[in-house]
Amino acid sequence: MSARILIVDDLFPNVKLLETKLSLEYFDVLAAMNGPDAISICEKGLCDLVLLDVMMPGMDGFEICRRLKSSPTTAHLPVVMVTALDQPADRLRGLDAGADDFLTKPIDDTALFARVRNLVRLKAVTDELRQRALASREFGMGDPLALATAEDGQNASILLVEDRASSAERLSAALSQHHRVTVVADPHDALVLAIEGDFELALVSLDLQGFDGLRLCSQILSLDRIRNMPVMMIAEENERARVIRGLEFGVHDYLLRPVDRNELVARVRTQLRRSRFSETLRGAVQASMEMAVTDGLTGLHNRRYLDSHLAVLFADAAPRHRAVSMLMLDIDRFKTINDTYGHDAGDEVLRSFANRIRLHTREIDIVARYGGEEVVIILPDAEPEAAHHIAERIRERIEAVPFLIQRETRDIHVTVSIGVACRHADDSGPADMLKRADLALYRAKSSGRNRVEAEAA
Amino acid sequence: MSARILIVDDLFPNVKLLETKLSLEYFDVLAAMNGPDAISICEKGLCDLVLLDVMMPGMDGFEICRRLKSSPTTAHLPVVMVTALDQPADRLRGLDAGADDFLTKPIDDTALFARVRNLVRLKAVTDELRQRALASREFGMGDPLALATAEDGQNASILLVEDRASSAERLSAALSQHHRVTVVADPHDALVLAIEGDFELALVSLDLQGFDGLRLCSQILSLDRIRNMPVMMIAEENERARVIRGLEFGVHDYLLRPVDRNELVARVRTQLRRSRFSETLRGAVQASMEMAVTDGLTGLHNRRYLDSHLAVLFADAAPRHRAVSMLMLDIDRFKTINDTYGHDAGDEVLRSFANRIRLHTREIDIVARYGGEEVVIILPDAEPEAAHHIAERIRERIEAVPFLIQRETRDIHVTVSIGVACRHADDSGPADMLKRADLALYRAKSSGRNRVEAEAA
């Protein structure tokens, strides 16, 4: 993928060198010579990945990385630290600051490009999601980005595929402080477990006996259900070519043996944070779409949902001569409840009313709040007699037990009137049935309330 | 990206050969020996890309491709036709059937893999969007996939970057039958145009004088605003290596010179259909999120939006000592309108009422339907006097002109009562202000209606 790479380094020749290399690979390159400039470019959304030097006057690379990774605006940007520091402690400091990788100079170009491409591709996949989630924030659905950024990357269920007992034990021990680890030696078992289990991350040894660990990685990454699960490789130092191969087809990260426990913990945490970040955004988008068809007060479906599904149901039912029945419910003297006990009490009654209805309807029925104190229930495949029977049961259940409100300090006797109607073969659409149900409800009201009335024969 | 590739060929040795090659590249491979099996695998969502042979007994490759591309369930799957047929007419038939590419045997492996990777990566980016759009369909928001599949890929605004006049003329003439073409010779001008113009697709010659056309492609593909725009390359036969380079970093398709006009038209159409498909899905997700905060009847914001934004507004205003005012409006004797003229008339009045309010509020005001015939208006930065003034103007504008309903056959005289309240420094939250507005509204009602009352001093 083509992408905009931000190089952050206070030394001009370093910038120039990286710029030339990346430019030859058809990346678009920007540069910043200090931390504040770098952060500003990232905040403006002008780059897709940051190559970050550590040693700079003023704000150092660790601090820049920490700031980028802790802000909802920039946390999604991959950061690769590139530095001459080569102590494990430096590396760890970088990873702890949230860096996606830490490469030591002199840089192996192949490794660098493979890593950059790998991170840029992963980012492209979640960018779309981020855009949608940003919209959900504008619509006032809370801030999924802030929530996602706060993720700590702990307490995951991890699948470790390793057939060397000693290594499995060491890796498992390091991870078990923060996570639950399942070790499996056989790659075929591993694939089954990955599909059927509920793992959040897989760690795969590339030197399994008689099996290509890379194959297992690619299989996991191709599976629809677990495609978003991060996969990490564990490889021998001399297997860099295979590691790069893995990065090319989408493996998320790797560790070289002997595996440093702290580095393992840090890299696993980074992967979990990233994937949970996406999961949070996905959930936010989903939730805000669900809200569009849900009544905020009662949690029932709303009229928009009712109208759309009723139209589909009618279109389906007509050619197959299938029954569709409808109940229109209206709480009796609801205005008196509001006027006597206040609107909050009225809301409480509505919520309890909705819950009680849910208890007496099936999964396939559509229960929707139709207006203030009106609820419509659609009963697919229900003949008139059955619909009438269900209506009578609901009426009876509402009347039978008073509604507890105001923290159960008060109970209100509530009754409901119900009009029942069914689809007719000559109906031109759902509106005809709705009208008949409305008329039946009117008769139920005018003949004394707390009654079920069917449409006129 | 790792992915599941479906090979469709009736000859077992052909399947085996491709399977071995792809497997070595760490793709997961499935096979189907006939059309119905292939379609069934695709419909079940078991693959990410289809490699399709043309000549098969029963359903041939063209027909399979057409079916896949015309079904909302499978239209998003990239299809590459791989065949021994080498007549331009065959190629064209494949592209016309909707194939994303048509490769002739013997296949150049590098070209095949580059194309497969390219298509798989592009698919990964839209898969997330498709998942969200599928959810919007389940929620009863119409069927964005069906809509997207029906897209014809015509009438686009196309940017052609070509500095050879004769070629520009020929290409432009071929495309102008279906599209609007803008030709630009200078690559720098082209980039500016791409950013500032409103193009749906860019065609870039790779052999511009003194400029690397691939660079321009990568620049266009890196730009945030136009990232989703398809980019196609036009290259000399001997520049295949550069073409593959382009495919690797995300260029969408290419044509080799001499460009066959029909092939050009077909490939452009395929790219436009694909990008408009994504755009439609994006729009569906966005629309369904917007619905979550919109009142279906009036198009005003709903209470969910009001509550969430009011909370944010309050939190912002308090430390800065900024004013926040609120109007609570209630149509007078609305029940009488419903009872006299029917619910439809009541709905019409509500819609007109909402429209008239919109005319008298600012962009930054929040106007939300609060309940049946109640509307709340939040006026950020408005002092009590200003709020009262606005309320009075709205009251006056509602009373002044009767509401035309029932196709303008009837006019109803409508009035509104309004309660005004403002944020107090010691408010614990928006609920306090809402309560005062409600009380003021109650006084407006009880002292004769068609009045504005401010909260008690």
Sheet containing B366-369, strands listed edge to edge, beginning at the edge strand earlier in sequence: B366-369, B374-380, B324-331, B416-422, B452-454
Provide the token pair at B179.
Answer: 């599209």
Region B363-372: what's the mean pLDDT?
A: 91
C-alpha torsion B424→B429→B434→B436, nearest 10: -40
Determine the average pLDDT of the residues in A95-110. Answer: 91
- Gap between the Cα atoms of A419 and B1, Å rounded: 57
Higher-pLDDT residue of A371, A246: A246
| Integer Cα distance of B66 and B433 in angstroms | 61
A241 and chain B: CB distance < 8 Å anywhere? no
Collect all residues of chain B within an 8 Å Cβ-Cβ radius of residue A228. none
Residue B105 — pLDDT band, cuts 50, 70, 90?
A: confident
Instruction: Check CB contact of A214 with chain B, cutoff 8 Å.
Output: yes
Contact between A386 and A321 under an 8 Å Cβ cutoff? The reply is no
Tell me how far apart the alpha carbons of residues B11 and B32 are, in angstroms, rounded to a whole number: 10
Q: Is the pLDDT assigned to residue A158 strictly greater than 70?
A: yes
Q: Is B48 on the interface with A (CB under 8 A)?
A: yes
Q: Which residues of A touch B139 (CB under 8 A)?
A: 289-290, 292-293, 305
- What are the beta bridge partners of residue B31? B7
Number of H helices, E strands in chain A: 16, 19
pLDDT-derived band at A150, boundaries 50, 70, 90: confident
Check for a shared fold between B141-286 and B303-454.
no
B139/A305 Cβ within 8 A: yes
Within an 8 Å CB–CB cutoff, is residue B100 touching chain A? Answer: no
**Catalytic residue from among B239, B373, B453, B455:** B373
Residues of A in contact with B140 (CB under 8 A): 293, 304-305, 308-309, 312
* Greatest pairwise CA separation for chain A in angstroms: 91
Where does A292-416 have alpha helices with state H? 303-320, 334-341, 343-359, 384-400
Which chain A residues are Cβ-neighbours of B127 within 8 angstroms? Answer: 125
Distance CA A428, CA A314 (A): 10
- What's the rounded mean pLDDT across residues B86-93? 88
What are the φ and ψ backbone dihedral angles of A47, each rounded to 5 degrees? -140, 165
Minimum distance, in Å, between the CA of residue B102 and any CA atom of chain A: 23
What is the total residue count of chain B? 457
Question: CA–CA separation, B152 vs A187, rounded Å?
Answer: 46
Q: Is the pLDDT of residue B308 over 90?
A: no
| Placement of tokens 């259940």 in the chain | A397
Q: Are A384 and A325 in contact (CB under 8 A)?
A: yes
Q: Which two tokens stand for residue B145?
A: 């996939």
**Tokens 């208890």 belong to residue:** A359
pLDDT in tens, B116-148: 999 998 898 888 888 888 877 777 666 788 888
Q: Does A142 touch chain B (CB under 8 A)?
A: yes
Catalytic-residue membership of B373: yes
Test A224 with B45 for CB contact under 8 angstroms.
yes
The residue among B406 and A247 whose pLDDT is bigger is: A247
Q: Name the pairing type of β-strands B157-161 and B180-184.
A: parallel
Cα dist from A244 to A203, A228, A266, B346, whole Å: 16, 20, 21, 67
The CATH number of domain A141-286, selected from 3.40.50.2300, 3.50.50.60, 3.30.470.20, 3.40.50.1360: 3.40.50.2300
Q: Which amino acid is at B274?
A: R
Tokens coding B263: 């092939």
Please give the pLDDT value at position A140. 67
Q: Which residue has the tokens 């520009």?
A: B168
Among chain B residues, the shortest Cα distance to A135 is held by B286
Write down the catalytic residue from A373, A408, A453, A455.
A373
> Is the per-residue pLDDT at B306 higher than 70?
yes
Distance from CA of B321 to the nearest CA of A (A): 23
> B69 pLDDT exceeds 90?
yes
- State the DSSP string of A46-61: --SEEEE-S--SSS-H
What's the mean pLDDT in A136-149? Answer: 76
CB atoms within 10 A of CB B298: 21
Residue-level pLDDT at A263:
94
Confidence at A45, pLDDT banded by 50, 70, 90 = very high
Phi, then psi, of B83 in degrees rounded to 5: -155, 160
Query: Would you list the domain boundaries of chain A?
Result: 1-107, 141-286, 303-454
Tell whether the model's pLDDT for residue A331 goes beyond 90.
Answer: yes
Name the DSSP letter for residue A154. Answer: -
Q: What is the ipTM of this complex?
A: 0.83
Interface mutation target, options A29, A123, A129, A289, chain B, most CBs of B under 10 Å: A289
* CA-to-CA separations, B337 to B346, B350, B401, in angstroms, rounded: 6, 11, 16
Type of residue at B347: D
What is the mean predicted confidence (pLDDT) over A382-400?
A: 94
For chain A, give the mean pLDDT: 92
B101 versus A136: the higher-pLDDT residue is B101
8 Å CB contact of B124 and A129? no
Give the pLDDT of residue B141.
Answer: 65
A400-440 pLDDT tens trace:
999 998 877 889 999 999 999 999 988 988 999 999 999 99
Residue A288: in which H helix or E strand, if any? helix A261-291
Q: What are phi and psi of B119, to 5 degrees?
A: -70, -35
Residue pLDDT, tens place only, A268-306: 999 999 999 999 988 888 888 888 888 888 999 988 889
Q: Are strands B101-104 and B157-161 parallel, antiparallel or unpaired?
A: unpaired
Percentage of residues of chain A with pLDDT beyond 90: 72
Ramachandran angles phi, psi of A131, nearest 5°: -60, -45
Q: Does an H or E element contain A29, and which? A: strand A28-32
Burial B237-248 (b: 16+ CB within 10 A, else e): eebbebbbbbbb
Instruction: Find out whether B309 and A140 touch, Cβ atoms under 8 Å.
Output: yes
B291 to A303: CB separation less than 8 angstroms, yes or no: no
Identify the pLDDT of residue A141.
Answer: 65
Spell out the SS3 assignment of A156-201.
Answer: CEEEEECCCHHHHHHHHHHHHCCCEEEEECCHHHHHHHHHHCCCCE
Q: What is the pLDDT of residue A145?
A: 84
Nearest Cβ partner for A124 among B125, B142, B302: B125
- Whether the predicted pLDDT of B451 surpasses 70: yes
Identify all chain B residues contacting A290, using CB atoms and an 8 Å cutoff.
Answer: 139, 292
Mind telling me how many Å the CA of A312 is from chain B's nearest CA? 9
CB contact under 8 A, B292 and A296: no
The two tokens of residue B355 are 């429209």
pLDDT of residue B140: 66
Within 8 A of B304 by CB-CB distance, chain A residues are: 140, 291, 296
CB A218 to CB B245 under 8 A?
Answer: no
Smallest CA–CA distance from B28 into chain A, residue: A219
Owner of token pair 């996406």: A278
Question: Is any Cβ of chain B less than 8 angstroms from the Cβ of A296?
Answer: yes
Q: Using CB atoms, which residue from A121, A135, A141 is nearest to B121?
A: A121
Q: Rounded to two decimals, what is the model's pTM?
A: 0.84
Question: Does the pLDDT of residue B173 top 90, yes or no?
Answer: yes
Say whether A1 and B290 touch across the interface (CB within 8 A). Answer: no
Supply the pLDDT for residue B228. Answer: 86
**Is-contact A235 A243, C-beta < 8 A?**
yes
Class of A303-454 in CATH: alpha beta
Q: Find chain A residues with C-beta within 8 A of B128's C-beta.
A: 125-126, 128-129, 282
Quote the crossing angle between the two packed helices B61-70 and B35-43, to the nearest 10°.
Answer: 20
**Facing A125 at nearest CB: one of B128, B217, B292:** B128
B293 touches chain A (CB under 8 A): yes
Q: Pick the residue with more confidence: A456 or A381? A: A381
Q: Which fold has domain B1-107?
A: Rossmann fold (3.40.50)
Nearest to B124 among A4, A125, A214 (CB): A125
